[in-house]
């Protein structure tokens, strides 16, 4: 049976609003993910419910703050009262360690500079540092002198405060992951919603609609996440590669693993470990990884191997981005192998202007001011207009309540938006939406969605730009067949094709019959070049005989203009 979920309605006027939100998440996970929880996680849910409210609240305050170490004196909240009393049950459960061993770096993070100068006074003198040395200088000097961690009272026998270490952050992160389906979103989502700064579509869902179907999938996600954190912290790619989990049958997790392999490969390449980088790129299997692998082979002089792999990739119907890169790479390899050149396909010529404008300033703003007229207005829209109209027309398809697409109240869009089968799973709904462009009902469909959904989070509709006057002008001036062509291109690769659209649009509502009533304008400032995704859109507009131009701006001290 389908049901609909709505955002929890804790009030920020309630001093325990954050506790209400945390309880909501625990109840949600306990009801929908019980089969994915281990014994200690079930125990956490059960024991949390038995704690005094003050202890629950203090735990949540720590969970929602950064890190796992906290000075007791800084855990002061009016609604909780005495933090030491509230802490005692958490210590008894082992959820908080009240005497943790602190490394020298952790000690520096917890103590103020004056306290460190007092605690380490003798060591500072021994190191030959002056008492007024900065915290950074002190930490650099002390790091090698204290390789072992020790409790605070060993560092500071007469300490006037305590340091606590939260011991259940991993459990709380796992529960947050199962709720959100990612670790990018956190508890701030509740607050932003309660403040009215975020509003989300309400989508029907089934009990099967959840991010993970097995505990192994959760474990794999976390393993990939922690490996990426360690890579960002500077650990060697070779060491991390040895801990990489095997390829998952879950296509979403397999894609995350492929991205991590790409990132590991790039790090190995920067470290000049090209042999390892080649292995990682090969294991990744993504289009971007294949291109990087080919470029490395080319630099190594492995031209024959690179040529064979590039030819194979070209024959496997790559996406536009990979095809563009291969089209550049293969002619170079042919020359180096002394092979006859293949027929080349150059980018079609596009209309362009040379504009001398007063500056420097924002080039887009300068062009808008220079060429906008009351009856021929120019708007700065970049990637928001075409994608916004697409999002409005195809709202029913984008927010279709399919299993695995929506599983909590804070979705900006479907969780499977960039997966390979996203469009295929909804093809009949997309076809129905795009069919409105054929029968002429698309204008009213877009208007109706704008009125009904205005302000709701969407992966395609940027409401501050896509306002009602802009929508009306676009519907008046852009032909349905042009919209259809653009929307179909978006559906071909939503992640890649949603970017690279021209910066500006000019509407020409009074243009003579048979001539375009709009034109897209890409703006380039001095020294700026067209990016690859912009070139692909320009080629697309050219093929479909859609009006587009590139405006190259140079700055002048006067008001001279050249068009």
- Tens of pLDDT, residue by residue over 248-283, are 888 889 999 999 999 999 999 999 999 999 999 999
Q: What is the tens place of the pLDDT at every residue in 281-304? A: 999 999 999 999 999 999 999 999
How much is the pLDDT for 198? 86
Query: How many angstroms separate the Cα of 448 from the Cα of each of 92, 350, 389, 392, 495?
Result: 57, 36, 12, 9, 26
Mean pLDDT of 534-561: 86
Assess whether the previous peptide bond of 360 is cis (omega < 30° from 0).
yes
Mean pLDDT of 121-136: 89
Query: How many angstroms separate the Cα of 511 from the Cα of each of 433, 506, 514, 519, 522?
Result: 29, 12, 8, 11, 21
CA distance 5 to 202: 6
On the question of pLDDT at 348 being above 80, the answer is no
Instruction: Return the SS3 of 334.
Output: helix
Mean pLDDT of 350-374: 89
How much is the pLDDT for 358? 86
Least confident of 1-10, 147-156, 534-543: 1-10
Mean pLDDT of 516-539: 94
Mean pLDDT of 139-144: 91
Residue 544 structure tokens:
């479909």
Q: What is the tens place of the pLDDT at every residue in 389-407? A: 999 999 999 999 988 889 8
pLDDT tier, 562 (very low <50, low <70, confident <90, very high otherwise): very low
Instruction: Return the SS3 of 352.
Output: strand
Q: 37 with 171: CB under 8 angstroms? A: no
How much is the pLDDT for 4? 47
How much is the pLDDT for 1? 36
CA distance 294 to 277: 11
CA distance 283 to 532: 25
Least confident of 204-208, 378-382, 453-457, 535-539: 204-208
CA distance 152 to 144: 18
Residue 447 structure tokens:
């208007």
How much is the pLDDT for 191? 79
Mean pLDDT of 141-164: 93
Mean pLDDT of 221-242: 96
How much is the pLDDT for 347? 65
Q: 520 with 504: CB under 8 angstroms? A: yes
**3-state per-residue secondary structure call for 60-106:** HHHHCCCCCEEEHHHCCCCCCCCHHHHHHHHHHCCCEECCCEECHHH
How much is the pLDDT for 560? 43
CA distance 495 to 493: 6
Instruction: Return the SS3 of 124.
Output: helix
What residue has token string 């006057």? 469
CA distance 285 to 279: 10
Residue 154: strand pairing partners: none
Helix (H) or strand (E) holding 46: helix 39-50
Query: b/e per residue, 324-335, with b = 16+ CB within 10 A?
Result: bbbbebbeebbe
Instruction: Return the SS3 of 37.
Output: coil
How much is the pLDDT for 204? 79
With a CB cutoff of 8 Å and minimum separation 6, the contacts of 561 are 355, 356, 357, 370
DSSP letter (8 states) at residue 195: T
More confident residue, 316 or 191: 316
Region 211-336: CATH code: 1.25.40.10
Residue 198 structure tokens:
């975020």
Instruction: Return the SS3 of 163.
Output: strand
How much is the pLDDT for 10? 61
How much is the pLDDT for 8? 56
How much is the pLDDT for 3? 46
Residue 35 structure tokens:
């089969």
How much is the pLDDT for 422? 94
pLDDT tier, 193 (very low <50, low <70, confident <90, very high otherwise): confident
CA distance 209 to 404: 5
CA distance 160 to 235: 37
Single pTM value for the model: 0.84
For the residues of 130-141, what is the DSSP string, one character each? -TT--HHHHHHH
pLDDT tier, 501 (very low <50, low <70, confident <90, very high otherwise): very high
Least confident of 259-263, 334-338, 409-413, 515-519: 409-413
Whether the CA torsion 498, 503, 508, 512 is positive or negative: it is negative
CA distance 471 to 465: 10
With a CB cutoff of 8 Å and minimum separation 6, the contacts of 354 are 552, 554, 562, 563
**Chain-wide mean pLDDT for the chain?**
92
Domain edges within the chain: 3-175, 211-336, 351-556
Residue 204: strand pairing partners: 4
H-state helical runs in 285-404: 287-299, 303-314, 320-336, 363-371, 385-393, 395-398
Helix (H) or strand (E) holding 556: strand 548-556
Residue 527 structure tokens:
């020294």
More confident residue, 327 or 317: 327
Q: What is the tens place of the pLDDT at every residue in 52-61? A: 999 999 999 9
How much is the pLDDT for 346? 62
CA distance 45 to 292: 46
Mean pLDDT of 213-219: 95
The helix-helix angle for 532-543 and 320-336 (nearest 10°) equals 100
pLDDT tier, 11 (very low <50, low <70, confident <90, very high otherwise): low
On the question of pLDDT at 563 being above 50, the answer is no
On the question of pLDDT at 489 being above 90, the answer is yes
How much is the pLDDT for 561? 43
pLDDT tier, 344 (very low <50, low <70, confident <90, very high otherwise): low
How much is the pLDDT for 444? 97
Task: Report the percentage of the chain scoring pLDDT > 70.
Answer: 95
CA distance 439 to 553: 41
CA distance 555 to 131: 54
Helix (H) or strand (E) holding 32: helix 17-32
Q: What is the tens place of the pLDDT at every residue in 55-102? A: 999 999 999 999 999 999 999 999 999 999 999 999 999 999 999 999
Mean pLDDT of 308-333: 92
What residue has token string 């070209």? 314
pLDDT tier, 352 (very low <50, low <70, confident <90, very high otherwise): confident
Bridge pairing between strands 548-556 and 518-524: parallel
């Amino acid at each position: 049976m389908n049901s609909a979920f709505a955002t929890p309605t804790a009030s920020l006027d309630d001093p325990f609003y954050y506790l209400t939100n945390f309880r909501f998440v625990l109840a949600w996970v306990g009801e929908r993910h019980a089969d994915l929880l281990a014994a200690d996680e079930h125990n956490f849910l059960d024991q949390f419910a038995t704690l005094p409210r003050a202890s629950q609240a203090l735990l949540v305050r720590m969970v929602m703050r950064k890190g796992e170490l906290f000075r007791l004196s800084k855990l002061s909240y009016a609604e909780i009262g005495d933090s030491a009393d509230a802490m005692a049950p958490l210590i008894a459960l082992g959820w908080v360690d009240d005497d943790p061993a602190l490394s020298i770096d952790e000690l520096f993070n917890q103590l103020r500079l004056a306290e460190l100068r007092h605690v380490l006074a003798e060591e500072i003198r021994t190191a030959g540092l002056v008492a007024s040395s900065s915290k950074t200088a002190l930490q650099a000097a002390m790091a090698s002198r204290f390789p072992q961690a020790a409790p605070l009272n060993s560092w500071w026998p007469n300490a006037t405060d305590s340091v606590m270490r939260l011991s259940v952050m991993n459990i709380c992160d796992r529960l947050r992951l199962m709720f959100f389906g990612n670790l990018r979103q956190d508890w701030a989502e509740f607050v932003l919603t309660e403040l009215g700064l975020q509003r989300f579509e309400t989508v029907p869902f089934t009990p099967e609609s959840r991010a993970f179907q097995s505990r192994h999938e959760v474990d794999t996600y976390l393993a990939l996440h922690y490996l990426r954190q360690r890579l960002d912290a500077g650990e060697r790619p070779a060491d991390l590669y040895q801990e990489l989990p095997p390829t998952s049958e879950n296509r979403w997790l397999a894609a995350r693993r492929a991205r991590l392999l790409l990132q590991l490969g790039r790090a190995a390449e920067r470290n000049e470990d090209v042999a390892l980088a080649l292995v990682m790129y090969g294991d990744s299997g993504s289009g971007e990884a294949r291109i990087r692998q080919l470029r490395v082979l080319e630099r190594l002089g492995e031209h024959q191997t690179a040529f064979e792999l590039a030819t194979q990739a070209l024959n496997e119907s790559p996406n536009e981005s990979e095809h563009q890169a291969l089209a550049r790479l293969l002619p170079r390899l042919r020359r180096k192998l002394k092979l006859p050149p293949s027929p080349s396909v150059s980018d079609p010529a596009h209309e362009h202007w040379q504009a001398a404008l007063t500056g420097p300033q924002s080039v887009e703003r300068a062009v808008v001011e220079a060429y906008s007229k009351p009856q021929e207005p120019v708007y700065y829209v970049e990637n928001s207009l075409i994608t916004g109209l697409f999002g409005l027309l195809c709202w029913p398809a984008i927010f279709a309540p399919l299993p695995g697409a929506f599983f909590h109240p804070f979705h900006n869009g479907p969780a499977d938006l960039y997966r390979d089968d996203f469009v295929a799973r909804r093809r009949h709904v997309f076809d129905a939406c795009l069919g409105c462009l054929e029968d002429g009902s698309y204008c009213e469909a877009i208007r109706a969605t704008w009125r009904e959904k205005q302000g709701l989070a969407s992966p395609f509709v940027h409401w501050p730009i896509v306002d009602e006057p802009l929508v009306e002008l676009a519907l008046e001036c852009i032909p349905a067949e042009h919209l259809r062509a653009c929307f179909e291109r978006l559906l071909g690769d939503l992640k890649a094709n949603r970017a690279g659209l021209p910066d500006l649009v000019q509407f020409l509502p009074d243009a003579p019959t048979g001539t375009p009533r709009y034109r897209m304008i890409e703006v380039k400032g001095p020294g700026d070049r067209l990016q690859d995704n912009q070139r692909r859109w320009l080629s697309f507009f050219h093929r479909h005989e859609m009006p587009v131009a590139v405006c190259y701006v140079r700055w002048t001290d006067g008001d001279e203009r050249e068009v």
